[in-house]
Structure 1
Amino acid sequence: MLMLLPSANNVSVDIVMTLQTEAFSAMLRAQNQRWIDRKIKAFNVLFTLYNPPTNIFTIVSFLTEFSASGSIITSSSTESFTIYRTTTVVDYFIMALKVSYIK
């Protein structure tokens, strides 16, 4: 699915895909529809991964910026986290111990 999301001064193309080939073909469609051309100022690829055995989510972001002088600035970030399931009093106690250990 290729969605167009307008915002203040830019346009965001949101591609929701599960397979690499689907994502690649969606990027080609965006380029053919002239969303990706020589006038582009920034290109951000953001995706989320989930590992069920460890219950860890990972967000990966790759950003490429094109300056007016013609230079290319790239950056990337990765952030992993888990979502705690707190259904009982024991779960809340374990979560409190983990939070106090982090501090």
Structure 2
Amino acid sequence: MAITHLKRGKPDTLRIEEHTQVRSVVEGILSDIEMRGDAAIRELSAKFDKYMPESFRLSEGDIDALMNRVSPRDIADIKFAQAQVRNFAQAQRNSIKDIEVETLPG
């Protein structure tokens, strides 16, 4: 029985070229943000999200209003995920021991 492929992946050379292009774009964006800060963020927000607020800083009232739109189930799920990440990180941190080794005399 012959194998029939419905879809094949891109050739490695094309994938590598695309990854290189993506890396270049991302590095350029990060460099621009590093050099121009908030001005670059504002331009990117307008370009990609069509979002142009007067300020990106949310007030306490804005935060409260947004939090009220999140379902109790979603809040519980987020808190559960946070606890799992914290527990794992703490266990990992607890497993790291300080050592002192003298590789050569003196």
Q: Same fold (TM over 0.5)?
A: no
Instruction: Pick 1 or 2: higher relative contact order, CA cutoff 8 A, min separation 6.
Output: 1
TM-score computed with the length of structure 1 as normaliser? 0.21
Bigger Rg, structure 1 or 2:
2
Structure having the larger proportion of residues in helix = 2
TM-score computed with the length of structure 2 as normaliser? 0.21
